[in-house]
Amino acid sequence: AVASKTIDVVPATLNVTVSGQNKEYDGTTTANIALLLDAAEGASLDLEGVSFNYTSKDAGNKSILPSKDIVLKGNNYELKAISLSGEISKRTLIVTSQISKYYDGTNTIDLTDYSATGLLTEETVPTVTATFTGDANVGLDKDIKLALKDNNSNYVLATEGNTAKGNISKST
């Protein structure tokens, strides 16, 4: 007599390591991540045509979504569920314009038209408040503090809270 027996094969679970999920704000949702599959004979990930995107282009913690399903190639394996997320950090903005104002009795000025490094070409400069820390009198090379106005979510000033220099000129 021939004996038969059914054997259940339980697929081995494979893990995926994710790298490159964080980036500095660049105005896009593109996520340049890499996936590395645990070493397993005959197993691989089919990533052909797959791209990854953050759920929003803005700075902060975001989910990352693949453009299509990630397929595990190979028999006797299953893919452990992965959750993709990453952080888009704020971009550093450095004000490069001379900061000056005419005397008007106040010690602050809102900068809305200035030069800066770190600003993306297609974006409008965020409003920066310059506060002269000594007094509001006419003078050259006066200490000022810079701060982003309206809590801009995508930029941080390189000099946020630090002292810079500016001028208050005599009104004409």
Q: What is the mean pLDDT of the chain?
A: 91
- pLDDT tens figures, 50-103: 999 999 999 999 999 999 998 899 888 998 888 899 999 999 999 989 999 999
- pLDDT tens figures, 110-125: 999 988 899 998 888 8
Given a cut of 80, whether residue 41 has pLDDT beyond it is: yes
Given a cut of 90, whether residue 162 has pLDDT beyond it is: no
Identify the band that residue 3 occupies on the pLDDT scale cut at 50, 70 and 90.
confident
Q: Mean pLDDT throughout 1-25?
A: 89
| Burial status of residue 95 (CB atoms within 10 A of its CB: 0-12, 13-18, 19 or more) | buried
- How many percent of the chain have pLDDT more than 70? 98
Strand segments (E) across 123-162: 128-132, 139-148, 155-157
Strand order in the sheet with 52-54: 23-24, 85-89, 60-66, 52-54, 30-31
Query: What pTM was estimated for this model as a whole?
Result: 0.81
Q: What is the pLDDT of residue 64?
A: 97
Of 162, 169, 164, 157, which Cα lies nearest the Cα of 143? 164
